[in-house]
Amino acid sequence: MADRGAALKAAPFSRGALTSRPCRAIVTTNNALVEEAAAMARRREERKLGELELRIMNVLWQRGPSTVREVLEALSVRPRPAYTTVLTMMRLMYEKGYLDRREQGRAHVYQAKLRERPTKGTLLKGLIDSAFGGSAEALMVRLIEDEKLSPEEIERVKKLIAEHERRGNKDVHR
């Protein structure tokens, strides 16, 4: 086996009664641990969220730390899911690393661990790639043609485009 460099050191140890084969414990430097934690955070934000997961995240991004009951009452989905459904989903999201949780009396208070902008950016990029062949223009045309944008929203988009052109941004194909 090749030497893994100065950052990794291998130390043999025995697994006792489970096996007679020696195993190797890998000791990493603090920098490697920090890099791995940052990579894990990026992977969490790149994961696809299910519909109810995204609705829960939207409530938490909007309201901040909330109990299951508060999230349930704020959900815009109809018919409203059962309390136990939201409880189970939030517990699973906590286990996946999407949420933080702390106890407050008899209740758990959950908080979004994923950041809103990168998470929504990943979801939008996935939608554009899969449904619109990678074309943001095709998405915008569809929104305008299907009358999904109000006149106020269209004016805001026009202002954003004009501002983008004034700044001289050449990066149109992110």
By residue count, the chain amounts to 174
Note the pLDDT of residue 171: 54
- The pLDDT score that the predictor gives to residue 143 is 83
Does 153 lie in the same domain as 107? no
Domain assignment of residue 140, yes or no: yes
- Count CB neighbours of 115 within 10 A: 13
Residue 153 has pLDDT above 60, yes or no: yes
SS3 of the chain: the string is CCCCCCCCEEEEEECHHHCCCEEEEEECCHHHHHHHHHHHHHHHHHCCCCHHHHHHHHHHHHHCCEEHHHHHHHCCCCCCCCHHHHHHHHHHHHHHCCEEEEEECCEEEEEECCCHHHHHHHHHHHHHHHHCCCCHHHHHHHHHHCCCCCHHHHHHHHHHHHHHHHHCCCCCCC
Nearest to 97 by CA among 85, 106, 110: 110
163 pLDDT more than 80:
yes
Q: How many domains would you assign to the chain? A: 2
Kindly state whether residues 60 and 93 are assigned to the same domain.
Answer: yes
Is residue 125 included in any domain, yes or no?
no
138 found inside a domain:
yes
Domain that holds residue 159: 133-174
**What pLDDT was estimated at residue 170?**
57
Q: Is position 150 within any domain?
A: yes
Is the model's pTM score more than 0.75?
Answer: no
Tell whether 107 and 162 lie within a shared domain.
Answer: no
26 inside domain:
no
Residue 73 has pLDDT above 50, yes or no: yes
CATH number at residue 75: 1.10.10.10
Amino acid at 72: L
Q: Is residue 28 part of a domain?
A: no
In a domain, 158, yes or no: yes
